[in-house]
Chains A and B, each alone.
Chain A
Amino acid sequence: MGDSQYSFSLTTFSPSGKLVQIEHALTAVGSGQTSLGIKAANGVVIATEKKLPSILVDEASVQKIQCLTPNIGVVYSGMGPDFRVLVRKSRKQAEQYHRLYKEPIPVTQLVRETAAVMQEFTQSGGVRPFGVSLLVAGYDDNGPQLYQVDPSGSYFSWKASAMGKNVSNAKTFLEKRYTDDMELDDAVHTAILTLKEGFEGQISGKNIEIGIIGADKKFRVLTPAEIEDYLAEVE
């Protein structure tokens, strides 16, 4: 394709108006493990597959869902190490906001600043874009919120979204199942069912991760035992 001549330099537009490196970054995201998020009336749930490369890996040490502040959590699809860098930067930005204003950072502001960091890496010399898309779930004074942030730095607010492998099936499934007045528990069930759709092998509390935040504004990751309980309810 004519575009390939322009895929060496990140900071150069191709004739078709694209930044090819960002397209490639989105491909990296698209081949990552499925993750999804659902915004309920009284909270938000985010979930991801946790497929490990071998049974010898200690799965308790792998944490794909992280919290950025006590009331904001995040999950990703794509490259794990890039995700860790972004989590670190976002946590620092949230704390800097708190130091200045003694207020917890609103979800929109944190998403905006994280997206600005990701955009920086698409317009600077000698760096490459992040190979992750993030799903940020938070609960602040404006209620429950769910945002997706892409490698280009664009962000969108979603009622429900999915990323990674199997994204089109997952999104179709979510479109059918989503209702505006869903409660948090229903949303968790729907999230599990959506993950199950494209899951290879037997789903269990050890190979998926779920994070929830409710009206108590405290983000937490569910334990494998709690996930097993939800799985039993779904069967």
Chain B
Amino acid sequence: MSIFEYNGSALVAMVGKNCFAIASDRRLGVQLQTIATDFQRISKIHDRLFLGLSGLATDAQTLYQRLLFRHKLYQLREERDMKPETFANLVSALLYEKRFGPYFCQPVIAGLGDEDKPFICTMDSIGAKELAKDFVVAGTASESLYGACESMFKEDMEPEELFETVSQALLSSVDRDCLSGWGGHVYVVTPTEVKERILKGRMD
């Protein structure tokens, strides 16, 4: 079985009108056994930049710590927050450094850039960036997520409608994947506020 499927994960980020949503499942497993139902896969880098990490949980935690470290030093030196595009380049460079012994993670980056323009991207475990204008997905449920997002996505959704769409896409996809699920964790970010919501789905 693949190392990327050891812990199970599902991540999705979607662009709305001057806002974005990033959502993940909450299951942490060790192959077929579930050991936690409240696992945090999405972390805040700063108020307008969120990072989700799917794949091997230990690598996700370590990578997050390293990236947070780099961002804090950047903030101290440059006296400003990192732009999402800049952060994505940093993640890509860091992942490629480990080209021949990689982190077994697939990151999803979502943020608000200049003029509150939403930015999302994902990359593979060695840093190949994939920018998208609509949505990006990652994790063991990614194939179902691609299908669900493709059919449910509309351009320029307002935050409330975006929340509904992302939640439906996430819950329906993880229900078809035995390694992810146990609810959802959704962040909807607008220029003025961050709304964090927990979803209750099929608890299996």
Contacts and interface: CB of A to CB of B under 8 A. Distances in A.
Nearest to B94: A100
Interface string A95-106: 000011111001
A147 to B, nearest CB: 15
Contacts of A109: 77-78
SS class, residues of chain A in contact with chain B: helix
A101 B82 CA distance: 9
A101 B89 contact: yes
Nearest to A98: B89
B59 interface: no
A99 B93 contact: yes
A103 B90 CA distance: 11
A100 B78 contact: no
A110 to B, nearest CB: 12
B124 interface: no
Nearest to A108: B78
B151 interface: no
B77 A100 contact: no
Interface of A: 99-103, 106, 108-109, 112
A101 B80 CA distance: 14
Nearest to A141: B80
Contacts of A108: 78
Which one of A100, A108, A112 has the highest number of Cβ atoms from chain B below 10 Å of its Cβ? A100
A99 B78 CA distance: 17
A103 B78 contact: no
B177 interface: no
Contacts of A100: 89-90, 93
A97 B83 CA distance: 15
B78 A102 contact: no
A101 B90 contact: yes
Interface string B34-74: 00000000000000000000000000000000000000000
A102 B89 contact: yes
A100 B93 CA distance: 6
Interface in B80-97: 82-83, 85-86, 89-90, 93
A112 B93 contact: no
19 contacts: A99-B93, A100-B89, A100-B90, A100-B93, A101-B82, A101-B86, A101-B89, A101-B90, A102-B85, A102-B86, A102-B89, A103-B83, A103-B86, A103-B89, A106-B78, A108-B78, A109-B77, A109-B78, A112-B77
